[in-house]
Every structure is written in C-alpha cells, then in structure tokens.
C-alpha cells in the first residue's frame, strides 16, 4: 500500500481556517484519499474522501493536487472541538480491507 506523510503536529486559532497537508507521492490511479480524525478518548471518525476532484461536506473540504501526489484537508473555521489527531489514508478502489493508519497530525486549537 502506498504511504502517506503528514506533519506531526499543527496549531490553529479558534474560528480561523486550518489547512492540514498530506503527501502521497507513490499514490496509484485507483487509490482513494481518505481522512479520519480521532478526538481525545474516542475512536477514529470518518471525515471525507476523494479520488481526483476536490470534495466538500459538512465537516470539511478536501483539496487534491492535480498530480494527486498531495492533498489538503481544510477546516473552514476551527473550533475547540476540532482538536484531534487527523489521519490521511490511501485506500484502493474496491478494497474491502483494512485502513492503514500512520501517526497522523495532532491539531491543537487555541481559544
């Protein structure tokens, strides 16, 4: 499975936008980009996924580079509740298997 690289930690101010980067230079054409986040003392929760085009949902936006070798998760207005570890994961299309988690990015949000 292709590997992802994320910064260990990032800081943000409350109510400001946050851009969480992810590099995946060995991504294949059939790999979807998934983002999960894990709030303190919780299991991971799905945030968003995409293949080639940028995606928006109620939680976040996903911007995918044209060459697909990197992507950015965008939280438009960070809240204290968004403080979590964010994981960028590649998953092959049609795969029914496991999610391969790295160490993720720990996001801190300051009031």
Partner 1 sequence: DAGVTQSPTHLIKTRGQQVTLRCSPKSGHDTVSWYQQALGQGPQFIFQYYEEEERQRGNFPDRFSGHQFPNYSSELNVNALLLGDSALYLCASSLTNAIEAFFGQGTRLTVV
Q: Note the residues at the interface with partner 1 (CB under 8 A).
A: 32, 34, 41-46, 49, 85, 87, 94, 96-104
CB of 17 vs partner 1, minimal distance in Å: 24
SS (H, E, C) the chain: CCCCECCCEEEEECCCCEEEEEECCCCCCCEEEEEEEECCCCCCEEEEEECCCCEECCCCEEEECCCCCEEEEEECCCCHHHCEEEEEEEEECCCCCCCCCCCCEEEEEEC
Q: Which is nearer to partner 1, 5 or 13 (CB)?
A: 5
CB of 6 vs partner 1, minimal distance in Å: 10
Q: Which is nearer to partner 1, 32 or 61 (CB)?
A: 32
CB of 100 vs partner 1, minimal distance in Å: 7
Q: Which is nearer to partner 1, 75 or 89 (CB)?
A: 89
């Amino acid at each position: 499975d292709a590997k992802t690289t994320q910064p260990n930690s990032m800081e943000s101010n409350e109510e400001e936008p946050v851009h969480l980067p992810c590099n995946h230079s060995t991504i294949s054409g059939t790999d979807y980009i998934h983002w999960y986040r894990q709030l303190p003392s919780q299991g991971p929760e799905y945030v968003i996924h995409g293949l080639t085009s940028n995606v928006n949902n109620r939680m976040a936006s996903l911007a995918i580079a044209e060459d697909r070798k990197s992507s950015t998760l965008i939280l438009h207005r960070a809240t204290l509740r968004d403080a979590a570890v964010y994981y960028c994961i590649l998953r092959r299309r049609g795969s029914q298997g496991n999610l391969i988690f790295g160490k993720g990015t720990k996001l801190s949000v300051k009031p």
